[in-house]
Amino acid sequence: MDNGRFGLTDHDFWAEPRKSAQDLIDAQIDAEEDALVLDAPREASIDNRDTLPFGTLYVRSLDEAAALDPERALILVAVRHEDNALFVGPALRKDKKPGANPVDNPPKPGVKGSFFVADAVEQIGIPWSRGTYTMELLLRERRSNPCQSRIGALRTDFHDDAVEAYVEARRRKAAEAPPPSVWPPLPVIRGAIERTLDGGVDPFPNYREREQSPPLPASAGIAFTIDRVAEPGEGRRCVLRGSFRLPATDLERVPFDPETGRLLDVGAPGATAVLQIHIVATGTKVVGPVVLPLRVPTFDVVPPEGGLVTGFFNLDLFQVSGVQQSPGTYFFTAYSREHAHGPVPLGIPPRLP
C-alpha cells in the first residue's frame, strides 16, 4: 500500500493533518502536473479514536477546475479485507448541489491545487469496529494511489488474548454459513438454444471462459473489458467480460451438503466458491456512484484458506438493473479486497432523432 505520501505520522491525521498541505500543493503546481493523491493513517486505535481521517491532494488544470466540482465528483472507495464488504460514496460533502463555474474560452493555462481533509466514517459509513480497509479515490477516468488503514488494538495497546480469541471464533462461526448465490443469476433457458462463441446466441450472464474473455491475471487480481461505445435499444447489448485470480477464504467456499455429499446449490452447478467483485461506476453527467455487487463462481478446486482460484464473468450491462443508459461517458472500476482494476470507459451516444 501507499500510505505516507504526505509525510504525516498517524497521530498527525488527528492533530495536524494540514501541516504539509501548502508545501505539497506548491511543489505540484511548480511541476505543473495533475495529481490525485490519497493518504491516511496506517492504524487507528479502536478504544481511543472514533474517526478515520484521510487527506486528499487534488491538482488540476484551471479549465478542469472551472468545469468539475471536487465536492461532487470525488468518490471514496473502501473495501474491508475480512469479509470483502464495500463502502463507497462522496469523499467530501454529501449535500452538494450541482453547479460549476463557467469555463474560459480559450482555456487559461496553469494548474490549481487543493488539499482536503475528511472522515471516512462520516462520509461513507465505515463502521467503528475492528477491520482492515483498503481505500482509494475515484474521479472519472482517474484513480488515486491506494492506502490501507487498520482499526483495532495498536501495538502499544493492552491486548486481551481471550477477547481476541473470542472475536476470531465468532468470525469463523459466521464463515460456516454458505456463501450467497451467484449474482446476476444465470438465465432460465427452456428448449434448445445455440450457444456459439462468435456471432450466435450466447445467453447472459454466464460464468465460463469465452473467446473474447480477457486473459487471467498473472498474479492475484481482476481484469475486465467493456464495449467502448454501446447504443441502447431493442436487441442491443453492452458486454462486460472479466476474469479473475483471487484468494478464496472460508467465507467464499461452497460447503458440501451433509445429506447428499454434494456441493450446495448456489445458482451455478459445480461452483466450489462464490467470490464478491464490486463494480463501481461513475459518470460525466451522473456522478453516482452506481455499484454492481457481483457474486461470481469459480469451479477450481479450492486450496487451503487464502489460496488463489480463477474464474470468468460475462454480463450484458443493459440487462442489469441500475446501469445508466442515458447519453454520457461512464467509468467502471472493479474491487475485491485490496485488488482493483479500472477505470474502464463506456460511452453511450445520444439517440438519433
Instruction: State the pLDDT at residue 175.
Output: 56
CA 28 to chain centre: 27
CATH topology of domain 12-162+164-169: Immunoglobulin-like (2.60.40)
CA atoms of 97 and 110, how far apart (whole Å): 27
User: Is 125 within 8 Å of 87 (Cβ atoms)?
Assistant: yes
- pLDDT score of 156: 67
The model carries a pTM of 0.88
What residue spans define the domains of the chain?
Answer: 12-162+164-169, 177-348
Q: Are 210 and 202 in contact (CB under 8 A)?
A: yes
The closest alpha carbon to 309, from 265, 333, 274, belongs to: 274
**Buried b / exposed e along 44-74 (16+ C-beta atoms within 10 A):** bebeebeebbbbbbbbbbebbbbbbbbbbbb
User: How many Å apart are CA 93 and CA 89, to the nearest integer?
Assistant: 10
**Can you read off the three cell numbers belonging to residue 54?**
484521510
Give the separation between CA 250 and CA 337, rounded to whole angstroms. Answer: 14
pLDDT in tens, 84-133: 999 999 999 765 554 445 555 555 677 888 999 999 999 999 999 989 99
CB neighbour class for 299 (10 Å; exposed up to 12, middle 13-18, buried from 19):
middle
Three-state SS letters, 258-313: CCCCCECCCCCCCCCEEEEEEEEEEECCCCCCEEEEEEEEECCCCCCCCCEEEEEE
What does the alpha-carbon distance between residue 214 and residue 352 come to, in Å, rounded to a whole number? Answer: 32
The percent of the chain in helix, strand and coil, each rounded to the nearest 5, is 15, 35, 50
Backbone torsions φ then ψ of 346, nearest 5 degrees: -140, 125
Query: Peptide bond before 203: cis, by omega within 30 degrees of 0?
Result: no
Nearest to 289 by CA among 100, 4, 76: 76
Residue 233 φ/ψ, nearest 5 degrees: 155, 170
User: Peptide bond before 205: cis, by omega within 30 degrees of 0?
Assistant: yes
**Cα 95 to the chain's mean position, in Å?**
22
Whole-angstrom distance, CA of residue 306 vs CA of residue 35: 34
- Pairing label, strands 239-247, 339-348: unpaired
Residues of the chain short of pLDDT 70, as ranges, are 94-108, 156-159, 171-176, 189-201, 353
The reported pLDDT for the residue numbered 174 is: 62
Q: Are 100 and 66 in contact (CB under 8 A)?
A: yes
Provide the strand spans (E) within 34-130: 35-39, 43-45, 53-61, 75-80, 86-90, 111-119
Q: Which pLDDT belongs to residue 275?
A: 96
- Burial track 325-345 (b if 16+ CB lie within 10 A, e otherwise): beeeebbbbbbbbbbbbbbbb
The pairing of strands 147-152 and 328-336 is unpaired
Distance CA 85, CA 10 (A): 24
